[in-house]
Structure 1
Amino acid sequence: MPRRHYPLIDMIYFDAGGGHRASATALQAVAEQQRRPWQIRLINLRDVLEPADFIRHLTGVRSEDVYNAMLKFDLTAGVGPMLPLMRLLIRRTHRQNVMLLARHWMEPRPALVVSLIPHFNRAIFEGLRMADARRDGIATPMVTIMTDLADCPPHFWIEAQEQFLICATAVAARQAMAIGLDSQHVVRTSGMIVRPEFYTHRYISRGDERRRLGLSPGLPTGLVMFGGYGSRRMLTIARSITESRQPIQLIFICGHNQYLRQQLTAMELPFGCHVEGFTQDVPYFMQLADFFIGKPGPGAISEALVSGLPVIVARNTSTMVQERYNAEWIVQNQLGIAIRSFSEIDRAVASMIDKDQSRRFRSHVAMLNNRAVFEIPEILAEIMAMPRACLAQQAVHAIP
């Protein structure tokens, strides 16, 4: 059958942060690997809702550009206070957003709508139902896939509406059922979506590759990474390790932040280090490391854990509200260490390189076996196989 006749799946993302698009493209790649007979259409929600973005019309700046600028300039403490304002703006434009989404879904009709974003799931659902009502009244199924470990209510990820929710933790599942979703519509996976290339182990000599980067082949090695723009906290980490004289070496990934890369290089650090800019090959650097240091972003910590690395993260007032539970989850599951400030990194590293502690962390990391990116296509297939008129009564096989 020509692909144009395959069922159409709309996957919705936006570019506030990089994790939503990355999750959508990861699912698309795995669906293709699994030879799923689907058309997958990736939709940037901002393109659909552009006419309703009065902030953009007034200022020329998209709200997601403001968010990304805050990440770039390390202003994450301001994200929490922004949430009430963001919710107010979304409520103000809700009706127009619903109308725009309904128009979008009139033609072509999707077999399934998958949201990988927060904030807009009520509008997505109502727009989809409006389009259904204008056609034949048969409900098009909707799925929200959470790309955070837990919800940050109200009206963040989970809405009380007749849809499916795919989540990675027991906490998120309980949050969904507490708001009114029944257990048949809440599907828990074995973890977060991680790009499939993190599951491909390269047969390389870690010692030789470390030497090639100017590192010692045998020293404990940490990978320091703070998203696509790095963070000035990487300078704090470098200074603290210098003062503590810990027997370790570090790989710093600075992303697009060339100034940070120059600063780290100019420090002429007395311990072994490699300073990298932006790279698409994070799996390679994780394979060379023994542990991860960074912020508790769900994507980065999940990539580290899939790569077998225990993690060190900070949880404080600068931590974005939607990421604070992640630090608790790490500690509760004995997957690493959460500290209040990266000025305390020396003590955390001392624990991480202690043989008994390291063995304990690694054993718990090895028990995770996160295969979510490979599990979710089958969950979506089961949902699409349900009779449309019976969506409210049917259950999906939940992966334990």
Structure 2
Amino acid sequence: MKKKIFVLYGPGGNGHRSGAQTIKEAFERKYPEHEVIIEDVIEIANTVLKFALSIYDNLIKADPKYVKYGFNLLNTMKTDKVLTPLFPKTIAILADRIKEINPDMVISVHSGINHFIVEALKKLGRFGKTPFIIVCTDLTDNFLNSWVHVESDLMIGFLEETKRQLVAYGMPAEKIKVLGGPPVNPIFSDNTLTKAQARQKFGLDDGEIFTVLIMSGGIGLKTIYTFTKQLLNSSLPVQLIVCCGRNDKLKEKVDKLAKYSKKPIKVFGFTDQVHNLMDAADVIVTKPGPGVIAEAIVKELPIVLDGLSEIMPQEAGNVEYVLSNGVGKKIGELSKFHNHIASFIYNEDELPTMRANMKRLKQTESSGKLVAWLNRILEEGVTSDFIKDESYD
């Protein structure tokens, strides 16, 4: 029987949007009879809230160090109780949209929208009738406490560390399920090209030249320019793939570097081809976002984490996850970036060791497991038997 699933996300780079798309893609493959609708709350919200929500992305683009101040402020106040009364129109607009879609389930993949969803469901008289599930897209711990809404029917975390943090923030343990690993869009595991094929697809040198993918999610951090310039000016035998996200000014600057480069380089803005760009690369240089880390692990693509940009509080645990599992390095000083890349090129053991660690860690079935759980909720509701059942897939 066909069901409707309404997945809501919000601003904050591309990770939340990617999480919503992963759910949609996995449902379409495993349960094609259902309809999954994903929407950005910022497109539904009124003008004032749109401005407020967009501040986060603008702070990251300016300098991630500013984000920690907002993070600390939000984590010291009851954001749900403070913000929701300020935007009653948003609740009304969201309620109208839920009524229009008439979903059988509502899912949130963003920490800042959960109270709005609960209030909208209450306004419609659907609270307790339409399951509301929160999928926490942060990988480890130390994330915003606004992820937790005790009135949600269920929270899904990726790791045991996630569950411990949710419980510490007040979520009842009996309303949390642990997936066992971050879900990755199936396109990263079943749409794979050889290195030569991927490099040909994007007009790169398809030989043995070492290829570095540089990116930082949908925002496009300034350090992308710094890393690109250093490698282009180096004597290292490399070619570059540079993704600037939605940062048009950054792309203009990198395009100028590419224009005069003697090394092969391809520059992209925001792209939906990351899965195949990863196929073309030997390593990825990126900020420590949970989504890109999980995607790189599935692709067995060793990671170099950008430590020049301020590490946002909610991503600090991701750095430790990468380093402790032996799947990447962190750049603490720009002067050492060249040496890190050179070590990858000339140390024959380094890349194979990291790839072996990634093979051990990768979870290609997590997205299928997640939607299997969600489908079971559609059929049975959130039952105590379901929450206790750790074997269900």
Q: State the TM-score, normalized to the length of structure 2.
A: 0.83
Do residues 31 (structure 1) and 31 (structure 2) align?
A: no
Which one of 103, 114, 117 corresponds to residue 121 of structure 1? 114
Aligned mates of 1:301, 1:42 — CA distance in 2: 23
Aligned mates of 2:201, 2:15 — CA distance in 1: 32
**Equivalent pair of 2:148/2:170 in contact (CA under 8 Å):** no
Change (3 A) 1:310 1:387: closer
**Equivalent pair of 1:236/1:343 in contact (CA under 8 Å):** no
Aligned mates of 1:101, 1:69 — CA distance in 2: 24
**Equivalent pair of 2:193/2:279 in contact (CA under 8 Å):** no
Aligned mates of 1:149, 1:387 — CA distance in 2: 26
| CA distances 1:31-51 after superposition (whole Å, capped 9, x unpaired) | 12223443323243235542x
Within 5 Å, give how 1:276-315 maps onto structure 2.
276-315=268-307
| CA distances 1:302-345 after superposition (whole Å, capped 9, x unpaired) | 22222220100023662222222211111111111112244421
Give the corresponding residue for 1:46. 42
Do residues 262 (structure 1) and 255 (structure 2) align?
A: yes
Which one of 53, 66, 82 corresponds to residue 55 of structure 2? 66
Give the corresponding residue for 1:359. 352
Which one of 158, 162, 167 corresponds to residue 172 of structure 1? 162
Cα deviation, residue 212, structure 1:
7.2
**Equivalent pair of 2:242/2:268 in contact (CA under 8 Å):** yes
**Equivalent pair of 1:240/1:343 in contact (CA under 8 Å):** no
Aligned mates of 2:362, 2:372 — CA distance in 1: 17
Q: Which consecutive unaligned segments of at least 5 residues does structure 2 have?
A: none
Cα deviation, residue 185, structure 1:
2.8
Aligned mates of 2:112, 2:342 — CA distance in 1: 40
Within 5 Å, give how 1:306-345 maps onto structure 2.
306-315=298-307, 318-345=310-337
**Equivalent pair of 1:151/1:158 in contact (CA under 8 Å):** no
| CA distances 1:268-300 after superposition (whole Å, capped 9, x unpaired) | 25x443334443322222111111111112222
Cα deviation, residue 138, structure 1:
4.7
| CA distances 1:74-115 after superposition (whole Å, capped 9, x unpaired) | 422211212355576754332436666566656765332211
Aligned mates of 1:249, 1:202 — CA distance in 2: 20
Q: Which consecutive unaligned segments of at least 5 residues does structure 1 have?
A: none
Aligned mates of 1:211, 1:386 — CA distance in 2: 45
Aligned AA for 1:38?
Answer: H
SS at match of 1:367: helix
SS at match of 1:221: strand
SS at match of 2:387: coil
**Equivalent pair of 1:161/1:181 in contact (CA under 8 Å):** no
| CA distances 1:189-219 after superposition (whole Å, capped 9, x unpaired) | 2432333222224455617935973536112
Aligned mates of 1:108, 1:151 — CA distance in 2: 34
**Number of matched pairs:** 382
Q: Percent identity?
A: 24
Change (3 A) 1:386 1:230: same
Aligned AA for 1:293?
Answer: V
Aligned mates of 1:22, 1:121 — CA distance in 2: 18
Give the corresponding residue for 1:383. 377
Q: State the TM-score, normalized to the length of structure 1.
A: 0.82
Cα deviation, residue 383, structure 1:
2.1
**Equivalent pair of 2:187/2:275 in contact (CA under 8 Å):** yes
| CA distances 1:112-167 after superposition (whole Å, capped 9, x unpaired) | 22111112323433543554xx46x7543221112221344552323344531222
Aligned mates of 1:103, 1:276 — CA distance in 2: 38
Aligned mates of 1:226, 1:138 — CA distance in 2: 39
Aligned mates of 1:387, 1:229 — CA distance in 2: 37
Aligned mates of 1:77, 1:233 — CA distance in 2: 13
Cα deviation, residue 227, structure 1:
2.4
Change (3 A) 1:242 1:11: closer
| CA distances 1:236-259 after superposition (whole Å, capped 9, x unpaired) | 223433565334332222344331
Aligned mates of 1:399, 1:75 — CA distance in 2: 43
